[in-house]
Structure 1
Amino acid sequence: MERFARGLVRGRWAILVVWAVIGGVAAMRAPGTPALLDIRGGSERETEASRNEDLVESRFSRPIGEFFAVALQGPGSFESSRPRVVLDTLLAALERQPYVRGLVSFPSTGDTTFLSRDRRSAFIIVALDVTEGDTAGALVQPVRSLVRRSLGTHPDGGQYRALVTGRAPLDLDVRRVITEDSATGERRLLPLTLIVLVLAFGALVAALLPLLVGMLAIAVSLTIIGLLTQVTPMSIFVLNMTTMIGLGVGIDYSLLMVTRFREELARGLLPEGAAVSTMTTAGRAVITSGVTVIVGFGALLFTPLIETRSVGLGGLIVVGVAVLLSITLLPALLAVLGREIDRPRWMARRLTWYHAPQIWEKWARTLSRHPLRAMAYGGLVIAILTAPVFWIRIGLPSRHWWPSGTEAGAGLDALSRMGVAGFIQPVRVLVEVPAGRTVVQAASLRALRVLSDSLRADGRVREVRSIVDLEPGTSLLALSVLYSDLKAARARYPSFLDAFLSTDRRLALLDVILADTTSLTSAMDVVIRARQLGQAELRGMRGMSVTVGGYSAAALDFQNDLLDRFPLLVALILGATGIMLAIAFRSVLVPIKAIIMNTLSVSATFGLIVLVFQLGVGAELFGLDGPTSAIFVVIPVLVFAVVFGLSMDYEVFLLSRIKEAYDRTGRNAEATMEGLSATASVITSAALIMILVFGIFAFARVLPMQLLGFGLAVAVLLDATVIRMVLVPAFMQAMGRWNWWPGGRKWKVESGE
């Protein structure tokens, strides 16, 4: 390391030039990355829901797969002449578009379901002739523009309000909101972070260096992620995660490096020597910490979801870039700046109270006198915070899933007021009969009716749409007669049969429309019941195969996939972290203790997430009007992986300093006190910055980002206080020289150890 550090200091000007070029390129390329990110996500493995979707797209002549819903509100009844003209004009404009496969509305069906009770609101289903979600997303703005132009052709068009919603519009608005929240978060964070850094360093120049590293880490990482989208899908959620992790980790590592550099200068070293010494001590800790954080993100690559794999890959990139900046660009800058890093010098005198070591030395001595009592109190706090985790429910949240304040969200609210929001995300049940049979034969129709009635009997279901549910009260005999002349039936119900009967007549689609009182959490239970009915071989269904798809079914499938992989992810992170810490500190007890402490931190974080979001205690502080009833499956997985990695930052910072003092003195008690008092100010400042970085996203408008932001902020708070300032030093004091067995230097045993 020393040879590398000396070479780096000698070539400092070349390093600055290289990073200046890289930074310039990143500044131009990074802003274009959000538009390249994948909105949909989901599992890359085949699931029952994906098979269901493929069958609908491949074996139905005009399936209603991708579609938009247009909610139209007017000054009068859409059954009257003037509003009806506006509605008809809009339908004609949509029908002329080449990407429109078909329209379903009140004029085309005569079904008053497409009108509100007062008839002043209507909605239209716009079936699209596309196969990919992102293709549908590209049509959102053209359709919204077309709808507005159509209304603008009428003199009273200003009295009408049209909102385009549906899966693709909701996804597109989520991407826009995430991009806006990321940019807004960065703008708010920079001044707050600068204040904390000025307090920590007592110098403006020193405070600006970590900010430079953090912002450069974000820009370079986003540029690399943008390039990776050409070869692998990257989820939109990687955008906020890159901002959070890049700024937090970049500043953390820089804070440690700059603090150590100033200490070396204070000992009388010249700037070049101080930079080399900083690299061989703090630089080594940064590399060790970075590798442990990377392990957490790397484990996410073994999950089957695009969202979690994207965050894993993005985390690998941003942490790797932050480490590279901290051990190349930062030492080069430090060697160039030298003692100018302390400017303006008057500021340091005014802020000495913030980083005075006396407070932490007193705290360290207190812990050394009563380590077991400190461990008991700290453990009790963690146990209380962990308790709510026993009530955790994994699933889609019951509310706040789609961001408010967007056109798609407002459209969904309008459909909810009409009582038809369930049409947007139906549970799609496909029934296939064996070869040689058709679903329009009498026996098949009877079996479909039994299945349809069983699904409709669920109180969470509003209605079922299928070839046996054409019109209420139609008998099986009447349906058999109708389908005996299928050509005539298609002429009578062309759009409906194209959407619900396959071209080979072996597949029938049943769309289960959920009641508006049915939340997304309950919708997953409806999917489970539908699959159970499909496997139960109801009367007449022997030999038929049933697959259940749709949004809730897809969510259930990737939830099960991810939970199946979660034990492997946990084992990888724990095993790799333990091995690396054992190698770094040449100790058996240190890695075991680190794993236990980090597990306590993660469990308490899970407990607080459940308490605040699932149970709704204090949820209104984060803009929510009630409990979410469930926690999205991605959140525990990401929180575990990210928190376990980030917690190692402070573990390595603290233990490196304790080990350094122990190797020098051979006295564990004094080494623990020295390490705690020397790093407490750095850890506190770094943690405060991390809490600001993560915490600001706890107020984001997209619920998964709120959950992540809250979880990571709480985890850092607990880790930097109860864990690193109480439990870890108390444990180190209690274990004495056994902390460093078997690799520590052989010193004479201290009394009491």
Structure 2
Amino acid sequence: MLGRWGRVATRWRLPVVGVWIVLALVGGIVGGGVFDRTKTVEDLRSSAESKRAEARVDALDPEGETVVAVIGGADFYTPALVQSATNVFNSLRQTPGVVDVSDAYTSGGLVAVDGNSSVAVVELDPRLSEERALALADDVSAKIRTIDAPEVYVGGELLAERTFADRAVDDAVFGESIALVVLCVVLILFLGGMVAGLLPLAAALATIATALLALNALAGSLDVSEFAVNVVTLLGLGLAVDYSLLVIARFRQERADAPDDPLEDVLERTVAAAGRAVLVSGLAVAIALAGLAVFGTPVLAAMALGGLLAVCLATIAGLTLVPALIALAHRRIPAPGTRTWVWRRPRGERRGLLETLAAFSQRHRVPVALVSAVALLALTFPVTGLDVNNSDASALPESTEERVVAERLERDFPLASVPVTVVVEADSSDPKVQGLMRFLFSQGKRNDVNIAGNPTPGVTRVEIAPQGTSAGPRAQQIVRDVRAYDAPVPVLVGGPAAELIDAKESTRARLPLALLVIFVPTALLLFALTRSVLIPIKALLLNLLTLGATLGALVLIFPDPLDITTPLLLFMFIFGLSMDYEVFLLARIKEEWDRTRDNDRAVLTGIAASGPVVTAAAISIGIVFLGFALGELVQVKQVGVGMAIAVFLDVTVVRGLLLPATMSLLGRLNWWPGVLTRKTGQMV
């Protein structure tokens, strides 16, 4: 069926390309609107205890968004500063939409121990929409900055979230721009000409534009995260280039093997062979991304949505747009080894990187397999010290005001940290909860524990200010201790530390199901491709080695905790892309096995045939991820660096050394249960 489509794409090349051009143009014009429609998506499900506690507190005592300012750089009692700050904060109290102002000049707010800085918190009306709240926050920020002080920094969660979203989009645009420029050079060099090199980029841009168009359409009914845009850009660019390279490389080979055949016949054979690998690879990556949705958190579901759109469109482009483009530009696609303005000398019979590594591995299969596996396991060891945290203002660039405010609060105003909130469904004077109340007050110094909010019959809200950060070890221990307490009435525990614990526990609880959802369909997919039981098992184990080594390297590179979503994203991306390369190689190895029934020859010949494509694809997608590693957001940087490391390890150590070494060690057992002869029942 795929082969027939190659013939159709050749015959109807102009309409196919025309449809994609229209989609790309509309996507470029209309799809770009998704950047203005992204929203901050929750990290946890609403059923998590910390979220239920937050909802209960909001119902009891609704609080609006806040603008937090740190005023410093001069003695607190400087007359000009006192007068200026007093005027500004009194003016803010009269501003429509501002419901409360807490500052050290007019209402007894916090002052640093050294007397050189203070904190002001301006609360906005909780009935304001997000758009109106942001507009008012900007107005409040502008007024605060008029205070006559050497240092005035304005931040808070609302402004930090907007800055985070803006930086995520900026990083995506910046990373894509850098990647496109470098990719253009690499692809021209690899394919040997300007036109040939631009074909994969054309497919990638069409894929991204169309995916953004689809996201923009979905934004009308769904919350689209800014990270979904990043995922679309990353995967759309990387996979579209990968699939284009695979199809173009197969076309060059098929044409070289039969130069006198009609173009329709050549493209029919091309799509029949390469199209199968593209389709299987796309399904494998889609399965990996679907695993994100299993975790049930809105932010991961949003990323999975963006990823699935990118994968589906990259696969469709690889099966439709790329063959049609080849049909239009086939005369400008040089054959391998052709002397061109890019390649001044024919490349002859030089071995590629993967073929060289594979030949070496087959000659020294036992030591190569042992050393490679031990090296990857050693690099995995630092994962035992993996620490994760929820993203906050500290993930922003150091120069942003929101991060400066957060760091100043943590350093100079420990009492300003967000407390652990405990909602007790009983009056504090109720005799049956006296033991619970004594326990809660024992969790900190007495002046760090208080009954908060307006008195509400039948409900008590206790706030515990932990030593250290809002989600630090001490705060997390308080959450665990309170939740473990055998309270006689319903109790809910919330706050940043509780949210982090809930996120960790949710991930831990759902990880086995996610692995099952990913591993079983992937194994069946590989079995359908290879008709082997051992090859899918081996592929899954090799992918886990790549993931472990990558996470271990990230722990060594980044001293701060990883964002809690980063290991999950890396797992899905690494697993999907590793399967991408696995399918590229196995498809050719299986072809050779079917033809020769010689395992070692099939492995080496298959890798020799597809190795250059895998190497070029790895370099291309590595450039994409390194482009994003140049971004300013720590979370985006972690994913970019992690994926670049994973691609390097996967293509060199795993696919270049471990894959051929283990397949040579297993020999004909690779293809068990194999093909049984009718007479002897022996594997052939």
Taking structure 2 as the reference length, what is the TM-score of the superposition?
0.91
Partner SS, residue 593 of structure 1 = helix
Amino acid aligned to 1:709: G
Asked if the contact 1:238–1:314 (Cα under 8 Å) also holds between the matched residues in 2, the reply is yes
Q: What whole-Å deviation, never above 9, does each CA across 1:488-541 have from its counterpart, x for those lacking one?
A: xxxxxxxxxxx6124x333233333344x437442xx4244245236536xxxx
For the residues of structure 2 that align with 1:131 and 1:46, how far apart are their CA atoms? Answer: 23
- The reply to whether residue 18 of structure 1 matches residue 19 of structure 2 is yes
Displacement of 1:607: 2.0
State the Cα distance separating 1:350 from its structure 2 match. 2.3
Q: Does 1:554 align with 2:499?
A: yes
Q: Which residue of 1 aligns with 2:367?
A: 373
What secondary structure, in the 3-state scheme, does the structure 2 residue paired with 1:139 have? helix
| Aligned-residue offset at 1:722 | 0.9
- 2: distance between equivalents of 1:431 and 1:21? 59
Matched, 1:428 2:421: yes
**Which residue matches 2:112?**
116
SS for the counterpart of 2:424 is strand
Match for residue 395 of structure 2? 401
Residue 309 of structure 2 aligns with which residue? 317
Rounded Cα–Cα distance in structure 1 between residues aligned with 2:124 and 2:432: 30
1:703 and 2:634 matched:
yes
Question: For 1:189-225, what per-residue CA distance to the aligned partner results, in whole angstroms no more than 9, with x for missing partners?
Answer: 1121122212221222111111111222222212212
- The CA RMSD over aligned residues, in Å, is 3.0
CA distance in 1, matches of 2:432, 2:142: 45
- Choose the corresponding residue for 1:383, options 338, 355, 377: 377
Is 1:261 matched up with 2:251? Answer: yes
Q: Structure 1 residue 501 and structure 2 residue 493: aligned?
A: no
Identify the match of residue 105 of structure 1 among 103, 106, 112.
103
Q: Which amino acid aligns with 2:605?
A: E
Name which of 511, 519, 530 aligns with 1:585: 530
Counterpart CA distance in 2 for 1:640 and 1:257 is 27
| TM-aligned CA deviation for residue 266 of structure 1 | 2.0
CA 1:532–1:359 in 2, change beyond 3 Å: closer, same or farther?
A: closer
Shift of 1:555: 2.5
> How far off its partner does 1:362 sit?
5.0
Contact (CA 8 Å) 2:534, 2:672: kept in 1 or not?
A: yes
Give yes or no for contact 1:654–1:679 (8 Å, CA) kept in 2: yes
1:191 alignment partner in structure 2: 181
What does 1:129-144 correspond to in 2, within 5 Å? Answer: 129-130=125-126, 135-136=129-130, 138-144=132-138
Match of 1:664 among 595, 606, 629: 595
Contact 1:203–1:345 (CA under 8 A) maintained in structure 2? no
Give the paired residue count.
677
Name the structure 1 match of 2:485: 536
Task: Tell me the equivalent position of 2:443.
Answer: 455
User: Which aligned pairs between 1:98-247 and structure 2 lie closer than 5 A?
Assistant: 98-111=96-109, 114-130=110-126, 135-136=129-130, 138-149=132-143, 152=146, 159-247=149-237
Cα separation, 2, equivalents of 1:359 and 1:287: 26
What does residue 470 of structure 1 align with?
none
Query: Which of residues 83, 86, 90 in structure 1 aligns to 2:84?
Result: 86
Q: Distance in 2 between matches of 1:261 and 1:208?
A: 16
Q: Which residue of 2 aligns with 1:473?
A: none
Counterpart amino acid of 1:265?
R
- Segments of 5+ residues of structure 2 without an aligned counterpart are none
- The offset of 1:684, in angstroms, is 1.2
By how many angstroms is 1:282 displaced? Answer: 0.8
The answer on whether the counterparts of 1:68 and 1:166 sit within 8 Å (CA) in structure 2 is yes
2: CA distance, partners of 1:270 / 1:529: 74
CA contact (8 A) 2:207 2:314 kept: yes
Structure 1 residue 358, shift from structure 2 partner: 6.5
Whether the 8 Å contact between 1:166 and 1:424 is mirrored in structure 2 is no
1:684 corresponds to 2:620: no
Q: Quick check: 2:285–2:579 contact (8 Å CA) kept in 1?
A: yes
- In the other structure, the counterpart of 1:328 is 320
In the TM superposition, residue 548 of structure 1 has moved relative to its aligned partner by 1.6
- Aligned counterparts, 1:273-422, within 5 A: 273-342=265-334, 346-350=340-344, 352-353=346-347, 356-357=350-351, 361-396=355-390, 400-417=394-411, 419-420=412-413
Q: Is the 8 A contact 1:209 1:330 kept in 2?
A: yes
Note closer, same or farther for the CA distance 1:180–1:109 as it changes in structure 2 (3 Å cut).
same
Q: Is the 8 A contact 1:398 1:520 kept in 2?
A: no
Return the offset for 1:363.
4.4
Q: Once the 2 structures are TM-superposed, how far is the Cα of residue 354 of structure 1 from its aligned partner?
A: 10
Structure 1 residues 747 and 68, CA gap change in structure 2 (3 angstroms): farther
Distance 2:287 2:185 in 1: 32
How many angstroms does 1:13 deviate by? 0.9
Structure 1 residues 150 and 686, CA gap change in structure 2 (3 angstroms): closer
Q: 3-state SS of the aligned residue for 1:70?
A: strand
Deviation, structure 1 residue 416: 3.9
Q: What is the CA distance between 1:393 and its match in structure 2?
A: 3.5
Mapped to 1, the partners of 2:139 and 2:519 lie a distance apart of 52
8 Å contact 1:464–1:513 — kept in the other structure? yes
Matched residue SS, 1:130: coil
Contact 1:44-1:305 at 8 Å conserved across structures: yes
- In the alignment, the residues of structure 1 paired with residue 246 and residue 130 of structure 2 have an alpha-carbon distance, to the nearest angstrom, of 47
CA contact 1:304–1:562 (8 Å) conserved in 2? no
Distance 1:529 1:602, change over 3 A: same
Check whether the contact 1:45–1:304 (CA below 8 A) recurs between aligned residues: no
Could you list the runs of 5+ residues in structure 1 that have no partner in the other structure?
468-498, 614-626
Residue 66 of structure 2 aligns with which residue? Answer: 67
Residue aligned with 2:448, SS: strand
Q: Is the 8 A contact 1:585 1:740 kept in 2?
A: yes
Q: CA deviation at 1:38?
A: 2.5
2:83 partner amino acid: V
**CA spacing shift, 1:500–1:278, aligned 2, 3 Å:** same
Q: Secondary structure at the match of 1:162?
A: strand
d(CA) in 2 for partners of 1:746, 1:358: 37
Q: Which residue of 2 aligns with 1:605?
A: 550
Q: CA 1:254 to 1:463, structure 2 compared with 1: closer, same or farther past 3 Å?
A: farther
Deviation at residue 725 of structure 1 after TM alignment: 0.9
- For the 8 Å contact 2:479–2:497, the answer to whether it is kept is no
Distance 1:28 1:218 in 2: 12
More off after superposition, 2-11 vs 205-214? 2-11
Instruction: Tell me what 2:469 maps to.
Output: 518
3-state SS, counterpart of residue 17 of structure 1: helix
State the distance in 2 between where 1:661 and 1:18 align: 37
State percent identity of aligned pairs. Answer: 30
The change in CA–CA distance for 1:144 and 1:75 in structure 2 (over 3 A counts) is: farther
Task: Give how far 1:334 is off.
Answer: 0.3
Alpha carbons 1:57, 1:131 under 8 Å: kept? no
Shift in Å at residue 659 of structure 1? 1.3
Which residue does the alignment assign to 1:477?
A: none
Give distance in 1, aligned partners of 2:549 and 2:209: 33
For 2:355 and 2:481, the matched residues in 1 are separated by 63
Shift, 1:184, TM fit = 1.0
**Paired amino acid for 2:284:** T
For the residues of structure 1 that align with 2:645 and 2:348, how far apart are their CA atoms?
Answer: 23
Measured against aligned partners, the alpha-carbon deviations of 1:585-607 in whole angstroms (never above 9, x if no partner) come to 22222212211221221222222
> Partner letter of residue 73 of structure 1?
G
Q: Note if 1:731 corresponds to 2:682.
A: no
* Deviation digits for residues 365-413 of structure 1 (CA, Å, limit 9, x no counterpart): 4333332232122212212212222333444489943432212112223
The 3 A distance-change label for structure 1 pair 120 and 373 is closer
Q: Comparing 227-236 with 578-587, which one deviates more in the overlay?
A: 227-236
Distance in 2 (alpha carbons) for counterparts of 1:11 and 1:709: 39
Question: How many angstroms apart in 2 are the aligned matches of 1:651 and 1:705?
Answer: 26
Partner of 1:466: 450
Quick check: 1:73–1:121 contact (8 Å CA) kept in 2?
Answer: yes
Contact 2:100–2:124 (8 Å) recurs in 1 = yes
How far the C-alpha of 1:167 sits from its partner, in A, is: 1.4
- Once the 2 structures are TM-superposed, how far is the Cα of residue 355 of structure 1 from its aligned partner? 8.8
Give the CA deviation at 1:743: 4.8
